[in-house]
A = this chain, B = another copy of it.
Amino acid sequence: MELAILFGGASFEHEISIVSAITVKSKLNKYTLSFIFCDADHEFYKIDASNMRAKYFSNLEYKKSSKLSLIKGGFEEKKMFASKTLKVNVLNLIHGADGEDGSISALFDFYNIPFIGPRKEASVFSFDKEYTKYIARSLDVRTLDYEVVHANQAYNIKTPLPYIIKPARLGSSIGVSVVKDESEVDYALDVAFEYDTRVIIEPFIDGVKEYNLAGYGARESIRYSIIEEPAKNEFLDFDKKYLDFSRSATVSEADIDEKLKLKMQSTFSKLYGELFRGALIRCDFFVINDEVYLNEINPIPGSMASYLFEDFEVAVGEILEYLPKNESIKVDYNYINSINQAKGK
């Protein structure tokens, strides 16, 4: 089966997307893969499989690859005297801005390019930690209480210490701090405001149990990965998460009882709903007093959470089979015609 992996993007997570793509490449040997790199200037390049090394990008060697432009149904590779088109299913593996904020999905839907990844509504909700709360609450999924602080506005934080400060719209723990003492607040806010104009404040629960569950929709049902209890220090920091994107060994299932497992799966299923159709997502849950709380939704998890699936190649095949279809809208100009007839034109 043919598949193009799209990676890079104008995002703080550009580099981890490269690492992620290199990892996923090694997990999809049964596929005929091609590689599309989006650089920080939003130029697309077709990357030869043999050049899929981190250094090829950090050295800017990629600029020697052929440029691609978006056309209906795919990409066009401009050659000196002719042009070649690449019409193939795409796996959107751009983490953070562009990939997870709805830009790429809007582009691909507009140009009618079939892709694995969150659609734009799902992206807007999961990319923003405040908006994620809206979805969770509308579905009666528990989340931690939170408050919002805006840049350049007075604040009066009511959440009791210790708490965690996060930029509203970044993943990979960038700009996140745990505040244990009042004296640390200003600095933690400054750090978070480097990345966003809006930050979320949530209680920090020391030693809270954390579990990751990935899955995707296939036909009417959801296919779940195993549940992992991720190793952690205080909270997953950027370096630690970064390594996640290059994880390739499969992990072992968390030691939890069947009841809790089913609770997590049914919470996942509620969240996935119709909204995330076409995507393989990873939900990160907290468990407090045997209740499942949504921490965050990763609509394009690092290396597609491939390490959580028994057979990742089968998983990708199933997602491709059940990609949502764009409905085409017919315009018949009935309205204008009827007005013109009434006017005698």
B-contacting residues of A (Cβ < 8 Å)?
Answer: 10-12, 14-16, 18-19, 39-42, 54-55, 57-58, 70, 72, 97-98, 101-103, 105-107, 109-112, 120-121, 124-125, 128, 130-131, 134-135, 138, 150, 197-198, 242, 274, 328-331, 333-337, 339-340, 345
Q: How far is the CB of A99 from chain B (nearest CB, A)?
A: 12
Inter-chain CA distance A174–B252, complex, in Å, is: 52
Instruction: Known contacts A121-B124, A337-B58, A339-B54; decide if A103 and B109 are in contact (CB<8 Å).
Output: yes
Secondary structure call for the A interface: helix
Task: Indicate which residue in B98, B106, B131 contacts A107 across the interface (CB closer than 8 Å).
Answer: B106
How many copies the complex holds: the figure is 2
Instruction: Known contacts A134-B134, A329-B11; decide if A18 and B103 are in contact (CB<8 Å).
Output: no
Inter-chain CA distance A55–B120, complex, in Å, is: 34
Instruction: Known contacts A54-B339, A54-B340, A124-B124; decide if A331 and B40 are in contact (CB<8 Å).
Output: yes
Q: How far is the CB of A75 from chain B (nearest CB, A)?
A: 13
Query: Which residues of chain B are within 8 angstroms of A274 by Cβ–Cβ distance?
Result: 150, 197-198
Known: A124-B124, A242-B335. 12 other contacts (CB 8 A): A14-B331, A15-B335, A40-B328, A40-B329, A42-B72, A54-B339, A57-B333, A103-B109, A103-B120, A120-B120, A121-B128, A150-B274
